[in-house]
Homo-oligomer: A and B are copies of this chain.
Amino acid sequence: MTSQFFNPMAQINDNFLKLKAGYLFPEIARRVKSYQDEHPDAKIIRLGIGDVVKSLTPTIAHAFHEGVDEMTSDSSFRGYGPEQGYAFLRELIAKHDFNSRGANISADEIFISDGSKCDSGNIQEIFGLNNVIAVSDPVYPVYVDTNVMAGRTGEANQQGQYEGLVYMPCCAENNFTPELPQSHVDIIYLCSPNNPTGTVMTRDQLKAWVEYAKKESAIILFDAAYEAFISEADKPHSIYEIEGARDVAIEFRSFSKSAGFTGVRCAFTVVPKTLMAKSETGAEVSVHALWNRRHCTKFNGVCYPVQKATAAIYSEAGQSEVRGLIKGYMENAALVRDRFLARGLKVYGGVNAPYIWVQAPNGMGSWDLFDKLLHEAQVVGTPGAGFGAGGEGYFRISAFAHRENVLEALDRIEKVF
């Protein structure tokens, strides 16, 4: 049957073929599993993927149970909720996370979702394919990969950088903070506190970005998933603390790391109603309306008991418990930071973020250090190169671990070097 060669056939989205290797964390999981299979007795300590280890706190768990109980009686049962999330939760968020910090964000500008990875991955759908996209390097891979899949890039070069994206180098010289691009860009992904480098942007730096976006009619996609870990009082938690940011920025937040929700799934995105972008005809279009349409068409809202549990985070008891979780992780971060500094390593982050970004010693490559630590110390970190060419030669250590494991890992690492 030669005719089959001329037969039309369902076609894939070829952009997927441009993606390099697996998504970072599955690749790490693969290497760890392979090592564990060969060494079934090895006690591997995971400081890699940045997953929390401390259980849900009592107040949050209590509300979670209450939510489930409500679902077990016809009179209090809740079916489909609003796609945007329940008002009771959105109002708490607006008040506690924004209004209390002088940021003018209202409940109906907030969209509850099941994760920041989803939101920061999906947000590009509402923008045109011709926008010029800027990302920092190193970068959280989701920003890049989702734009590749959508067709906003060409192929990747040897360093894994995709044609058509504007990379903003973050390195020791600029303290791992992206600088304003020399040429015009339309959409800028910023992440502060930063994943992976653990650095945080100052008020003045954010101000400069808001001004840039105003001047260039650009939009900032501001990922603040780690804002709860900011310890220095003068650092902004939200981009909306900067005047005018409402008109140029979308912000992503998550309960994954702050409240231990990585297995529970709740996050939110803020799209101010004053944020506009242009259509092909040059007309200004509400970005909020587009995201709302996307959310209503492709999403069905977050599990009700989860939203109820999330609301409990904002109670007095919930706040106090969550602060306790964060304090524990940040003490881990300080331990790692101090021990590494004492060994003469170059260390960033760990003060306003749960990540320590460390330069691999002796000019080692990131994946080489990953394999060395896995094989010789049974410690899993994240190779900086997994976050882009700019991360080569660096390594990310996560503070999300039990204290005894952090101490044990530090002892083991010190023996290797």
Residues of A at the B interface (CB closer than 8 Å) are: 4-5, 7-14, 16-17, 19, 22-23, 25-26, 49, 51-56, 58, 61, 64-65, 68-69, 71-74, 76-81, 114-115, 117-118, 121-122, 125-132, 141-142, 145-146, 149, 184, 186-187, 216-219, 256, 260, 262-265, 277-280, 282, 285, 287, 290, 293-294, 296-306, 402
Bound-state CA distance A277–B145 (Å) is 21
Q: Which residues of B contact A128 (CB under 8 A)?
A: 11-14
B402 near A74: Cβ-Cβ < 8 Å: yes
Q: Which residues of B contact A54 (CB under 8 A)?
A: 74, 77
Closest B residue, CB atoms, query A400? B79
A9 near B278: Cβ-Cβ < 8 Å: yes
| 13 pairs, A vs B, C-beta closer than 8 Å | A9-B217, A11-B128, A11-B131, A12-B285, A13-B128, A13-B129, A22-B293, A56-B71, A64-B71, A65-B65, A68-B68, A68-B305, A265-B301
Indicate which residue in B72, B293, B306 contacts A56 across the interface (CB closer than 8 Å). Answer: B72
How many copies the complex holds: the figure is 2
B145 near A219: Cβ-Cβ < 8 Å: no
Q: Which residues of B contact A19 (CB under 8 A)?
A: 293
Indicate which residue in B16, B55, B61, B187 contacts A293 across the interface (CB closer than 8 Å). Answer: B16
Closest Cβ–Cβ distance, residue A287 to chain B (whole Å): 7
B13 near A184: Cβ-Cβ < 8 Å: no
Closest Cβ–Cβ distance, residue A66 to chain B (whole Å): 10
Bound-state CA distance A14–B283 (Å) is 11
Bound-state CA distance A218–B277 (Å) is 37
